[in-house]
Structures are given as structure tokens and as C-alpha cells.
Amino acid sequence: MNNKNIVVIGGNSGIGKSITEKLESEGANIFVYHRSGEGLEQLDVTARFESIEGLPEVIDGLVYCPGTINLKPFHRFSVEDFQRDYEVNVLGAVKVLQACLKGLKKSESASVVLFSTVAVQVGLGFHSSISSAKGAVEGLAKSLAAEWAPNKIRVNVVAPSLTDTPLASALLGNEDKKEASNKRHPLGRYGQAEDIAGAAVFLLSKDASWMTGQVLHLDGGMSSVKSM
């Protein structure tokens, strides 16, 4: 990753911060954007924009981290709840991708990493809004992987299960919740930001240069293994 120009949207906390730190340790040039955060470029992905200030001319990698966790019974969701999750997870990514496309095309081998959730693969109650939005992210990624392959732009998705980040703090707020979350995963623990960051950096690297249109399930086995 040495001297590669990597744009990280939502890179000042949680998974995004861990990705940024790992990329920096590998010598990449990082361009971090977040809705708020000292010393960072400001970008509200829910606002209207067609360009992003401060982008490098050549973009070798793009990571879109903003997401939502809005869980409740379906009958308690409003249409506005669904719209909000779609705005952040899907339309925000669309606007960022369009703003970065020119720079991605100038790279000899660019990589885009988007984020989904295990709840798209596995039916989970109370996840109807976020599952709908993240399912759209997976569809977007596969379509762009096909469309952008001639430009040597790879597009892949990481689909984690519950990960210990500020966004998930309410779900891991005490020891009982943490233990219950551990038991739901075949490998016996919920995720850490570092687990997800390693996968994202792999997808950005030349080691994944023959990989596109894929959804990488990083979920402690939840999507494919039934523990006894």
C-alpha cells in the first residue's frame, strides 16, 4: 500500500478509524472525510453534493464506512426511518462514488470497498430497514463491479456481524449483552474493528487484484455455520 492514495469516508471512529490506522502503518496516503471531527475534511453524506473538496487526482482506493443501526419491530418503523437508512447507506455511497469516479479511473488498479451486514444473508428480526438498505448496497456493488471492470476498478463488499464500535454501543452496553452476543456467533465472540479493518485493507491491496463483485462475510461464522 506504500504511496497509494486511499480515500476513507467515515474514517475517524470505529471500523473506519481502524482501517485508516492500518493503511497509515502500511505507508498509504490517506484522505479521511467525516461528518464531524477535528482535523478532518468535513463531508455530510446526506447533503447534496457533486464533488468533494481535497480529493487526490488519482484515487487508488475508496472505502465507504458510514452506516446506521436502527433496530425495532417492523410495525414501528416509519417510511422516514427507511428513507434515512437508505440515504446514509446507499445514496451517500452513490454520491461519493460518482464524485470519486474520475480519480478512480486514473489509477492503474483501483479498489472500492463498501459495507453490508450479515443480516442480508441471514434473516434477523427487527432488521428490516437496515437489511433493505444494505441489500441495495450489495446489488450496487455487483453492478458497478461489472460496469467498471474494463476500467480496472474492483468493487467488493465486507458484510460483518455485530462489531464493537461506537455505532453498536447500545447493543453491547453491559456484560450480559456482550455475553449474549458472544453466544450467537459460532466462533464464540462478536467482532472487533481490527477484524474488519484487516479484510478491508486486503481488498484494497494487490493481493486481491483478481477479486471483484464479491461479498466477504466476516461474521464469526454466523452466515454459514450452525453451532451445536
- The model's pLDDT over 184-208, given as tens digits with 9 standing for 90+, comes to 999 999 999 999 999 999 999 999 9
Cβ-contact 156, 141 below 8 angstroms: yes
pLDDT > 70 in the chain, percent? 98
DSSP assigned state of 128? H
**Could you tell me how far CA 132 lies from the centroid of its own chain?**
15
What average pLDDT is seen over the chain?
A: 95
- Cα–Cα distance between 113 and 65 in angstroms, integer? 9
- Cα–Cα distance between 112 and 130 in angstroms, integer? 21
Q: Which three cell numbers stand for residue 205?
A: 491491496
pLDDT score, position 117: 97
Residue 89, pLDDT above cutoff 70: yes
Quick check: is 101 in a domain? yes
Quick check: is 158 in a domain? yes
Residue 36, pLDDT above cutoff 90: no
Cβ-contact 160, 218 below 8 angstroms: yes
Q: Which amino acid is at 118?
A: V
pLDDT > 90 in the chain, percent? 90
Residues 6+ away with beta carbon under 8 Å from 113: 61, 62, 63, 64, 156, 157, 158, 200, 203, 204
In angstroms, the first-to-last Cα distance of the chain is: 41
Give me the phi and psi of 124, to 5 degrees please: -125, 130
Quick check: is 138 in a domain? yes
Quick check: is 103 in a domain? yes
- Cα–Cα distance between 175 and 64 in angstroms, integer? 31
pLDDT score, position 41: 85
- Cell numbers 427487527 label which residue? 126
pLDDT confidence tier of residue 18, bands split at 50, 70 and 90: very high
Residues annotated as catalytic are 116, 134
Quick check: is 227 in a domain? no
Residue 40, pLDDT above cutoff 80: no
What range defines the domain where residue 201 resides? 5-218
- Cα–Cα distance between 151 and 119 in angstroms, integer? 31
Quick check: is 67 in a domain? yes
- Residue 107: give its domain's CATH number: 3.40.50.720
Full-prediction pTM beyond 0.75? yes
Domain count across the chain: 1
Crossing angle of the two packed helices 92-105 and 128-148, in degrees rounded to 10? 20
Quick check: is 202 in a domain? yes
Residue 53, pLDDT above cutoff 70: yes
Q: Which three cell numbers stand for residue 137?
A: 448496497
- Cell numbers 463483485 label which residue? 213
Crossing angle of the two packed helices 79-86 and 128-148, in degrees rounded to 10? 30
Largest CA distance in the chain: 52
Sheet holding 29-34, edge to edge: 41-42, 29-34, 5-9, 61-64, 110-115, 153-160, 215-218
Residue 228, pLDDT above cutoff 90: no
Q: Which three cell numbers stand for residue 58?
A: 488519482
pLDDT score, position 62: 98
pLDDT confidence tier of residue 122, bands split at 50, 70 and 90: very high
